Chain A
Amino acid sequence: MPTITVSKIDLESLIGKKMSFDELQEKLPLVKGEIKDFEGDELKIELADTNRPDLWCAEGIARELRVESSEFRVERQKTKYQIFVDTELKDIRPYIGGFVAKNIKIDEPTLLGLIQTQEKLADGFGRHRKNISIGFYRASQITFPLFYKAVEQESYKFVPLDSDTPQNLKEILESHPKGIEYGSILKGFARFPIFVDENDKVLSFPPIINARDIGELKSGDTEILCEVTGTDLEGVLLILNILSYNLFDRGAKIIPIKVEYPYSTPLGKSIITPYDFNERLTIKKNEFEQLLGMKLNIDEIVRILKNMGYKLPEHQKTRTPEHQISVVEVISPSYRKDIMHPVDVIEDFAIGKGYNSFETEDISFFTIGKPAPVESTLNKVRDIMIGSGFEEIISNILTRKSDDPCSTWVPRSQKSEMIEIENYMTETYSVLRNTLIPSLLNIEAHSPKAGYPHKIFEIGEVVIKDEKTDLRSRTFYNLGVLLAHPEASFSEIHSFLEILSRYLNFTYIFEKGKSPSFIKGRDANIMINKKQKGIIGEIHPQVLENWGIRMPVAVFEIYDIASLH
């Protein structure tokens, strides 16, 4: 979930009124937001909606919290600004767009806000600039038209941000911190993208870094160029729309830019950005009513959706009266692309109405509750073990493999391999356990101070590989039992297995064990219906020493205990 830092004063000025902390807290559900922390004027707000990048900034939050939505219009046809795209970019980073924001006063908080937004959108939504990257420039130093080109790696030299010396593109990737961080995006391409103005002055090397001076906004700037490049046209346009709304809401005049492609795009060869998606949604009133469980009237729905940023189509008044009372027609805001289905609009309506204003209703139909089928056996086993004086434990299923201090432990037939994790974070939690005995020994190793005798058991899930199943593995419950005290012995642990078999009603025989983890001649495989279903024995002192245990230990384990009953 994205968390952003905003200035409360800035947020209030964007909303257009002062708000107390509690008022703000109360309103934030409108943006699925929650104040996580605050210090002085600084609020840390967590935003739950990972699919709404427009909300990850003060402007976006303010937009939803204001009663009146932005009356934002771009005069599309009047632009004289252009970006020309080089044909070779089609396979490298095909899409670009931009706009110029005029009459804006860049001050320190605005600058910080822009940088945060750029970071959240490019790194979060844009997958670390892979899909989307953003550049801001000082428009006063730029001569239009602009060119987005693919060039030889060593052909252009410029001074990048945070540097003093001119470097070519190859050098930047090799030595500039941002080049090293984001260089992998351009891996495998012979030519790299570059963004220049009419005089061939470098603006930036997308998606890596801007040129110094021209690509570094300063407090006091009044005119900025905003550019977005990426691999997915819809994403590029969405981000441009969000950024243009943000600057518009800060009082800027937005001048669009016409992008001319030599290749065709889903929206043609010539696209003016920001781009109004103008997505029209037609939803039957009864869809709202069914999902929300209440009678509604169109006026209320439309009024609330308007507050949530939706627009009304121009021709709405011309519809038939019947249509007017049964169908909701709205246009989704162009800074949103998350609306995929009528249910998304219905949720927005419910949020606008306020979740806590809904009457709750009990589910009235009758169903029979039941535990999972294995539970009755597991409960029975648990009762027998507790009746036998054993204490139950619950351990983690993730465990270690390679430096298992119990490496001489061979818990069952060699065939049952453990499931290993490819991307484990630490060795300690790198495999799924396939036996409970190490879990029990781990308890013993951690509990020398607990009064003896130790009689512990775990009924826990284990996982083994099994190529014959759909998921190439099986998950089931084992029973592991451990006894530790100065006289702990095979015969004592055996008596608990015997009592278990009587009450669970299974018969077993012993087959001489061969595991080096046990004292020779004091272990056995537990055979049930001619299959090995467990293991029993006195743990070998070498294994005890490996675990740092200084007490005789006897154990038994039964595999897939639920299958026995």
Chain B
Amino acid sequence: MNLHPLEIKVLLAFKERNGNLKVSATAEEIIDISKLSEADLRRASGWLNTKKLIEIIPQKPETVIYLTDWGKKYYKQGTPEKQIVEFINKNKTPIIKDIDFLEPLEISEAIGFLKNEGIIEIKSGGILTIKNVAFVEKIQKVQDLINKAHSGMELESITEQEKKTIDERHRERGKAKGIFEIHKKTHLLLKLTPQGKQVLSGLSEVGEEISQLTLEMIKDGKWREKTFREYNIDLLPPMVIIGKKHPYGEFLQSVREKLISMGFKEMRGSIVENEFWNMDALFMPQFHPAREVHDVYFVKEPKYSAPIEKDILKKVSDIHFSGGDTGSKGWGYKFDKDRARRLILRSQGTPLSVRTLANNPEIPGKYFAIARCFRYDRVDTTHAPDFFQIEGIVLGEDINFKHLLGLLKLFGKEIAEANEIRFLPTYFPFTEPSVELQAKHKKLGWVELGGAGIFRPEVTKPFGIEVPVIAWGLGLDRMAMMALNIKDIRDLFSPDLEFLRKLRK
């Protein structure tokens, strides 16, 4: 049988000097003989127990009182109360701020205690005086108890009065600054089994087997004379912490890669936008409810962007009023040109698409963005304070509604890996026709995967875009949550490292 050196030490402790074998021994005795630490003994006896070489028999538990680190300090120096009383007795004018031998927290607690117990008084100027000498005895009692507990004392051996004092002073004052610690201790009795006896009698001394191959052994060839202890390869290894990507970041990265593989170019832009690009250019009327303070975050200062290019602004404002030259009736209201410059946090990724349209896009072309967006929403399990939106455009001469549906079908298949999808009519102020894409998810059933449509002419014409433009957006957070097995959207941005380490895509 292969034994670990620790196991061998434990077994050898059962061997008496005269060669006789002890039947049983307490843990303390074994530690005494083998010089093992408590932790090593615990490990080794555990292994021996599973190998059925020893039996571990727990004895009746006993309660032992020890001193905390603070208690040990007070054993040497005396309790803060005692030190302060001595300080008062030694000095002519004992002032609180002259107490330099204690920490501030200790001082305030000790002074408070002494005052409450009526032992001292604080006079003006922080001068301390002893009020009642008889009570000083009370302090001495605590000190006596500390001295008694120094080498550990059993709970059964102390008086009710002492118990009360300990209750008051154990791990209670301040944070973890108590004097006493109460431990329940279970003594263990280790008993050699018949197999154990057999193995032990075959054991001579430790040191014939080696565990670690060393540099020296390789150099001097001594390894030839050694035998290597076989390892228990069934043991769990220690955990290591490794560098890794954020799981939600990885999910977004995989979406990015899929879109790029479909020929999309990535767009990126500013988090701060003005209302013009976020809404006006998207034919959202300025009185639209989704433009109010309860839907969009407005920048406090400065409030306005630089002026919008005059020509474009005029076209868009005419379109809002009367449709301009787009063949539309328009919304029929007077457009507020200042409002167009109002700075906000982008509430959708679409301004990136419109800015692309305004900036000589490739025709035919495909663009996408993974954009952090912001909306005025109460933060809860389904609303994060900021979130990623995935969206884009496709422009081309012969683009039509069937291509829009074809694109959504492709997204359903490639990105959601859904075999079944369906299209539902929906509404966006900037697309017509507008479609909602739903995909059948293995576990969730029909889920909304995204929205799309063909940009209204009111949106594309001001930028001289004469070809149809598909605009699409994907809502993948539910899919991401499903993939990462989380229920609360806020956990996508969890600040708990332990939680993040457990997340797997």
- Using a CB–CB cutoff of 8 Å, the interface residues on chain A facing chain B are 29-30, 32, 34, 48-52, 124, 127, 234, 290-294, 339-344, 346-347, 350-351, 355-356, 358-363, 365-372, 374-375, 382, 385-398, 419-426, 428-429, 432, 442-443, 445-447, 449-451, 453-456, 461, 463, 465, 467, 469-475
Contact = CB atoms under 8 A, between A and B. Distances in A.
Contacts of B497: 391, 393, 443, 446-447, 450, 454, 456
A66 B120 CA distance: 92
A340 B329 contact: yes
Contacts of B328: 340-341
Contacts of A467: 302
A422 B342 CA distance: 12
A386 B427 contact: no
B372 A461 contact: yes
A395 B245 CA distance: 13
Contacts of B432: 341, 343-344, 346-347
A389 B405 CA distance: 45
A399 to B, nearest CB: 9
Interface in B22-68: none
A386 B301 contact: no
A30 B394 CA distance: 27
Nearest to A464: B272
A422 B299 CA distance: 5
Nearest to A452: B241
A127 to B, nearest CB: 7
Nearest to B331: A340
B126 interface: no
A378 to B, nearest CB: 10
Interface stretch (B5-13, B88-96, B205-213, B262-270): B262-270
A356 B422 contact: yes
Given A342-B327, A386-B244, A234 B386 contact: no
Contacts of A474: 270
Contacts of A29: 424-425
B431 to A, nearest CB: 9
B266 A370 contact: yes
B239 interface: yes
Interface centre among B273, B274, B329, B385 (most CB of A within 10 A): B385
Contacts of A290: 400
Nearest to B422: A356
Contact of B496 (A30, A342, A446): A446
A393 B246 contact: yes
Given A369-B263, A386-B244, A429-B379, A472 B385 contact: no
Contacts of A451: 239, 241, 498
Interface centre among A49, A463, A469, A475 (most CB of B within 10 A): A475
Contacts of B272: 419, 432, 463, 471-473, 475
Contacts, number: 276
B372 A397 contact: yes
A394 B249 contact: yes
Interface centre among A356, A385, A471 (most CB of B within 10 A): A471
A429 to B, nearest CB: 4
Contacts of B128: none
A234 B287 CA distance: 15
A425 to B, nearest CB: 6
A347 to B, nearest CB: 4
Contacts of B394: 363
Given A355-B424, A368-B263, 15 more contacts: A127-B287, A291-B433, A292-B401, A360-B406, A361-B400, A362-B406, A363-B399, A363-B403, A368-B265, A371-B266, A422-B298, A432-B271, A443-B495, A471-B274, A472-B304
B402 A421 contact: no
21 contacts: A32-B427, A291-B400, A293-B402, A293-B403, A341-B327, A341-B329, A347-B425, A366-B263, A387-B243, A393-B495, A421-B345, A422-B300, A423-B298, A429-B385, A443-B497, A446-B496, A451-B239, A472-B302, A472-B343, A473-B343, A475-B270
Interface of B: 239, 241-246, 248-249, 256, 259-274, 287-290, 293, 297-306, 323, 326-332, 343, 345, 362, 364-366, 372, 374, 376-379, 384-386, 394, 396, 399-403, 405-410, 422-427, 429, 432-436, 454, 456-458, 468, 492-493, 495-498, 500-501
Contacts of B265: 367-370
Contacts of A291: 400-401, 433, 454, 468
Nearest to A473: B272
Interface centre among A127, A343, A428, A474 (most CB of B within 10 A): A343
B403 A367 contact: no
A355 B425 contact: yes
Nearest to A465: B302
Given A347-B425, A472-B343, A425 B376 contact: yes
Given A343-B432, A398-B374, A442 B495 contact: yes
B400 A395 contact: no
Nearest to B492: A394
Given A343-B433, A398-B385, A293 B300 contact: no
B401 A350 contact: yes
A350 B433 contact: yes
B268 A374 contact: yes
A450 B246 contact: no
Contacts of A442: 495
B330 A340 contact: yes
A133 B374 CA distance: 33
Contacts of B365: 367
Contacts of A355: 405, 423-425, 435
Contacts of B259: 369
A267 B97 CA distance: 88
A420 B345 CA distance: 10
Contacts of B372: 397, 461
A125 to B, nearest CB: 9
Given A340-B329, A395-B493, A421-B299, A363 B243 contact: no
A363 B298 contact: no
A423 B332 contact: no
B245 A382 contact: yes
Q: Which 4 A-B pairs have the closest CB atoms?
A: A293-B400, A369-B260, A447-B497, A347-B433
A475 B261 contact: no
Contacts of B434: 347
Contacts of B492: 394
Given A32-B426, A341-B323, A368-B265, A450 B332 contact: no
Contacts of B401: 291-293, 350, 358
Nearest to B494: A446
A391 B243 contact: yes
B424 to A, nearest CB: 5
Contact of B305 (A429, A447, A463, A472): A472
B339 to A, nearest CB: 14
Given A341-B323, A424-B297, A450-B501, A365 B244 contact: no
